[in-house]
Amino acid sequence: MVTEDGRGAHHVQSLERGLAVIRAFGADTPELTLSDVARATGLTRAAARRFLLTLVDLGYVRTDGKYFALTARVLELGYAYLSGQALPELALPHLERLSEQVGESSSVSVLDGTDVVYVSRVAVSRIMTVSITVGTRFPAHATSMGHVLLAGLDEAELDAYLAAATLDRLTSRTITTGTDLRAALARVRVQGWALVDQELEEGLRSVAAPIRDRRGRVVAAVNVSSHASRTTLEAARRDLVPPLLAAAARIEADLSMTPAAREHG
């Protein structure tokens, strides 16, 4: 049995709506009124009020009576995921070493739907920092880590990705057709790493390498990003790729020794 909106009969709509209320808060909107939340979620004011007050009861939201804001307790939910994953923590010392070697920020991400999601990151402090933290998402088609992760999919998975993804143009260089993307991924598979030059944002260059589990499946990607003004394409290939591949190998070695890898691998 499937309901009108295509969800199964098991679907708990109140949970979906409550999670939408949490996601209504964000970088540009850390404080919202009841009306703001109703507008952002498409709920009635009465429904939005019930969800917000429930979240206040549970300690996930605080309010001064007019404005609502998330509390640090919301981090518990993401922490439930992060603490169960060996990779994010295991990768950190390797990212630190990599960032120290190349003087640039480095990250690990996984594929989630059509996005890459950052699960581990070491930021190098600069005057202009890039606002990326664990949990940040970017469309896979426009990022080096996305290319590496997509190159690791089998044919059926890649077909499903292309059916779901919109391949939006984010800069003049973004790959926006399935044919071009398939060609780029074929090169990544042969080469063993990906370079994306200003396809996500003007001025941003990034190289990425796959992290494989013991069965050889690509489970994550590691990258180093730089600014076009600091790093030419030639310098990226020459100076960033070798330390990146070495870091990926060290992360894979550590990952192969985790209990989960032994159990499933």
Site residues, a second copy (CB under 8 A): 7-8, 10-12, 14-19, 22-27, 29-31, 49-51, 53-55, 57-60, 69-85, 88-89, 92-93, 96-97, 110, 112-113, 117, 119, 123, 125, 129, 131, 133-137, 260
> What residue spans of 26-85 are helical by DSSP H?
34-41, 45-57, 75-82
Phi first, then psi: give them for residue 114, nearest 5 degrees.
Answer: -100, 10
68 vs 193, beta carbon nearer a second copy: 68
Kindly state the smallest distance separating residue 60's Cβ from a second copy, in Å: 7
Contact 221, 108 (CB under 8 A): yes
12 vs 190, beta carbon nearer a second copy: 12
92 vs 246, beta carbon nearer a second copy: 92
Kindly state the smallest distance separating residue 37's Cβ from a second copy, in Å: 12
78 vs 192, beta carbon nearer a second copy: 78
Phi first, then psi: give them for residue 120, nearest 5 degrees.
Answer: -155, 140
Q: Which two tokens stand for residue 243?
A: 């330390």
Kindly state the smallest distance separating residue 83's Cβ from a second copy, in Å: 4
Q: Which two tokens stand for residue 237?
A: 């290939």
Please list the residues that pair with 206 across neighbouring strands: 196, 225
Q: Smallest Cα–Cα separation from 3: which of 153, 138, 12?
A: 12
Kindly state the smallest distance separating residue 71's Cβ from a second copy, in Å: 6
130 vs 245, beta carbon nearer a second copy: 130
Kindly state the smallest distance separating residue 164's Cβ from a second copy, in Å: 11
The torsion angle over the Cα atoms of residues 134, 124, 257 and 265, rounded to 10 degrees, is 50
